[in-house]
Amino acid sequence: MPNNKGKGGKNRKKGKGEGDGDKRELLFKEEGQEYAFVTKMLGNGWVEAQCMDGEKRLGHIRGAFRKKVWINAGDLILLGLRDYQDNKADIILKYTPDEARMLKSYGELPDSVKVNENEEGGDSDDDVDVEFDIDNI
């Protein structure tokens, strides 16, 4: 029988579940960058993104992001535009829902944009109040 005196298994050794709960500095867009919402996941590290300038672009998830940051449809991302390909861009950063709300309050995002579409715990249209009368069954 092995003595279980260690401090965890392979997930601990690989550094999984570290919980990045600390606040990071809010990054604004610079020249050659654009805010966008992910509309569709295409596979193989590619996403379809609707940029704030009205263009639809293909975004490439770079290697460091691919396994550490999970990107889903509806997420707000920062794209680095390519000089040589206007319809393709590289994903630089994924914003959390709190950061997206802060960007909207600073005026970086248009007022017509909904930033908390995929956030949990908000008012949802899926909640339906149904009462069952078991006595009549």
How long is the chain? 137
User: pLDDT per residue over 11-69, tens digit each?
Assistant: 666 665 555 556 788 888 889 999 999 999 998 999 999 999 888 999 999 887 887 88
The mean predicted confidence, pLDDT, of the chain is: 79
- pLDDT of 133 > 80? The answer is no
Q: Is residue 64 within 8 Å of 76, Cβ to Cβ?
A: no
| Residue 106 backbone dihedrals phi, psi, to 5 degrees | -80, -5
Query: Which pTM does this prediction carry?
Result: 0.68
User: pLDDT per residue over 67-76, tens digit each?
Assistant: 788 899 999 9
